[in-house]
Structure 1
Amino acid sequence: MKFTAFGLARSGTTALAQLLNSHPEVFCAIEAFLPDKSIADLPLPESLLEPDVVGQKRAIKHAAIITSKHKCFGNKFPRYYGYLDDVSSNCIPNIGIYREGFSFAHSWNERVRAKENWPQGRTGIIGIIEQVILLISLAKLKNTDSTYIFSYERLLRIDKEHFTEVFKLLDVDPELARNRFESQVFNRKKISEVKRTFTENEARAKDYFDIEKVDILLKNNSGISISSYSTDALDSLSLLKVKLESFIQEFSGTFSDLEVQYLKSQLPFFEHAIKEKLYF
């Protein structure tokens, strides 16, 4: 495998995969592999075409898409961020996306209301907590040289040239993706017109975590390796752990029973991701 793609669920990981797939030489599979093996050693494209590895439906779908032009294969899995020190990904680019302003929370709540393969306690406020976990994990990561976070706003809404940095990481010519990226991925009207509202807890979290300051930090460092972040930037991310524990201790009484149950069920993964115990 030549790369991984990751980020919080419902926060732009599919758009990141679409960006990657806009290049004729790049193929980004969608959650074909779980983070339970040495992903860098997977034989590709063979593994993507093997029903015993990716399932019958995915194997058939991949076979219809993959061509002889594809030479750079990877996989999008949102929670790769929690396993980047475990799956031998230090020799390939790990490309993450960060959605500013907790603007994904609305989508999490919509999924709960739709009751479509989405746990009922997995609401927007839980998504915000996981986003903070992701940010803390970056400060705790050992595999910093090959891990990069791209700002959603810069990459997909504001800076039409920023996409070239993604393909430079993969050592392919960005210009081969430009037309498709600009026409099908960049600044999509359907996404930009979505009206987002925040619950009381979500609005409270935006202030509590000073999300505007965090957004600026991630935008300023968009597309550079975590190892290139300043000490102050990494300290800012690391200190979010104390804020997160305080936030949950102070406001978990306002969470629903289902939210509390889901949060507790995810605690082992969260602690694995940040390599520390969490005290709620």
Structure 2
Amino acid sequence: MKQLVQQELLAKLSAMGVRNIVSLSALELGQSNSVYQCQTQHASYFVKSLDVLSSAESVAKTRALELWASEQGFGLAAIQVSEDGYLWIYPWCDRGDLLGKGLAKQDSLRQIASLISVVSRSKCPSSVLSQLQPLATGADLLRYRRRIEHCTEITASILRLISWEDAEGLASAMACWQGNEPESHLSVCHNDISLANVLTDDRGGVLIDWEYASLGTVEQELAFSSVILSLDHDDYLRLCGYLQSDYKRTLKPKGLQLWRRYALWINLLWCVEQAQLLGGVGRRAERLLLAAEHCRTKISVECKFTVDLYS
């Protein structure tokens, strides 16, 4: 019976677009074995198919899940039940505040990563989507998840290809990131390169067709990811503060919608997370700042927005 349930879940996850599943294992929650942890190469999340339960049974099982999540070190867990009977657990999120004040916490990286890992075109709980307006469907978030998976793959490649003991190599990568941006493609930062430029798919195309986005290149994406890989949390905030002085001059959002800002935020944070997982942290922040000075007129980060989230 358990094997049939696993096969069903694997089929549904595959239909949702979840790839590179490493394992799907049952978790022991009291007398219930119907909660599964799905581990991919890039994320870990939890899903279960709910049986028809009475209200009291459902509440008891939900509380058991909350307790288990807390014991596993996930902190507050936002638990949502979709209309088709799937229960999603979003670790590190505040219930009812998935993308609100909870982002000001130090664990905001994992909040976003966990959220994007499970959201898809067909399986996003309506209660979550309602908090992500003006998104009409979960399709854009599914694209973000796929983009994040691709980003993880290239950051792993970066660690093999680039030696960060070479300060000139870092500066060269940043110079490469500047590229030859066509002036006809204006970004939110006008002629500067913004993070929107690196939100690309495997073919180098722009994932989100918004009016401010410029065409990104693989070279820009690789260089950006490699720079983020040199950061630990404190170094990252130092860079944000370093660039903040240029915020008003270079960034004119002109009503840039909040969810678009999250797209940039997700891209940046996921790179930082992978840096931590792959061991590429704390690599001499002064060299990063030197490289940033080298091309500061071409680098634009949503730094004020970022710093505000951590304040």
Q: TM bucket by the smaller chain?
A: under 0.3
Q: Rg larger in 1 or in 2?
A: 2
TM-score of the aligned structures, taking structure 1 as reference length? 0.28
TM-score of the aligned structures, taking structure 2 as reference length? 0.26
